[in-house]
Amino acid sequence: MIVTSAMGRRSIVMEVDKPWALISEFGESGCPEDLADILKQHFQIICHKEFLQNPTLHGSKLQAMLVWNQHPRSEPSLLRLLPSLKVVSNGGVGIDHLDVPYITSLGVKVANTPGVVSDATADMAMALLLASARTIVEGYKIAVDPKATCIPQRLMGVEVTGSTLGIVGMGNIGYKIAQRSKGFDMKILYHNRNRRSAEDEQAEGASYCESLDDLLRRSDFVMLAVNLTPETKGLISRRELSLMKPTATLVNISRGLVVDQDALVEALQSGTIRAAALDVTYPEPLPRDHPLLSMPNVLITPHIGTNTYPTTRKMVCMMVENALAAVNGLPVPNEVKPK
């Protein structure tokens, strides 16, 4: 096989020389088929289902597990079948589905793909905010309804320009959201474990709220951009929702478990808050009879925050880079260590 290096040099790599890697599958439920060539250029790939048909055939060869959309699941029952495993390389920044302390206790490194997901996810956050505020989906349904003869006056949204946005979690993604919201002349509040520098705050006109409660009371839009940790699980529940304005919208682009969904349903039904726009739920997808799916003041997308071709390609390349470093005994660029 002829491959081209990052420096543009071409060389011949024999299939037998390439390390083995396990993935879930290619296609709709797995790694995008369009990007399979990147993985196959550097690894001999075996899919999870094929591997399970005869684990002893390839188990001792596999040195990397490439996790996409949280699969394959790095459960002990699977890891026991991979005695030569050196790395679990995750496509995406969130690693709440990985038991990092357990995996690393086996001498296996863990890596993720931070940074490259931030722009696409921040774009999605603003898309959800705008679509919910301006009733875009409801408007589309009326526009294409063959029975529609007029535009109902009830199709009124809320103003985005000049409103107050409260960002919960001001990491890379949260900061990118702040940059975008500045273009709408929004007043930006944020709550974070660590306060950003004065330079960062001044650049985006962001004001720090030491108290989450204070941010919730003051915001017209509450944007959740935190990692899922034991501390953030159920971060937004009945008490927190009750503090929000009745005209406020909750936007979640973090993880479904950050929000108590039963409490959210109650808050939306009772008018405690105006609306919710969610790119994440728990589970994903929701059961088809879940009340959130039929509520007119809820907008849900199927966890597509990073789903653009440029971002997905960057994620796959970074996932491969991390895995190759571990397999070759080199420092892993984006290694995740247990806390």
Say which residue the tokens 């083995």 belong to: 20
SS (H, E, C) 220-262: CEEEECCCCCCCCCCCECHHHHHHCCCCCEEEECCCHHHECHH
Rounded distance, CA 39 to CA 312, Å? 13
| Separation of alpha carbons 332 and 325, rounded Å | 5
Strand partners, 66: 89
Q: Token digits for 195?
A: 């306060």
The 10 Å Cβ neighbour count of residue 302 is 12
Q: Phi-psi bin for 107: left (phi > 0), alpha (psi -120 to 50), beta? A: left
The terminus-to-terminus CA distance of the chain in angstroms comes to 41
- How far is 316 from 90, CA to CA, in rounded Å? 9
Q: Which of 191, 196, 218, 255 is catalytic?
A: 255
For the record, the structure tokens of 109 come out as: 């490194």
Check if 33 is active-site. Answer: no
Coil, strand, or helix at residue 63? Answer: strand
- Complete DSSP assignment for 122-154: HHHHHHHHHHHHTTHHHHHHHHH-TT--S--TT
Q: Identify the active-site residue in 42, 180, 196, 303.
A: 303
Catalytic residue among 25, 284, 321, 335: 284
Please name the residues in contact with 66: beta carbons below 8 A apart, sequence gap of 6 or more.
21, 22, 23, 31, 39, 43, 89, 91, 319, 320, 323
Residue whose pair of structure tokens reads 């995406």 in the numeric block: 92
Tokens 């596999």: give the residue: 62
CA 292 – CA 317 distance, rounded (Å): 36
Provide the annotated active-site residues: 255, 284, 303
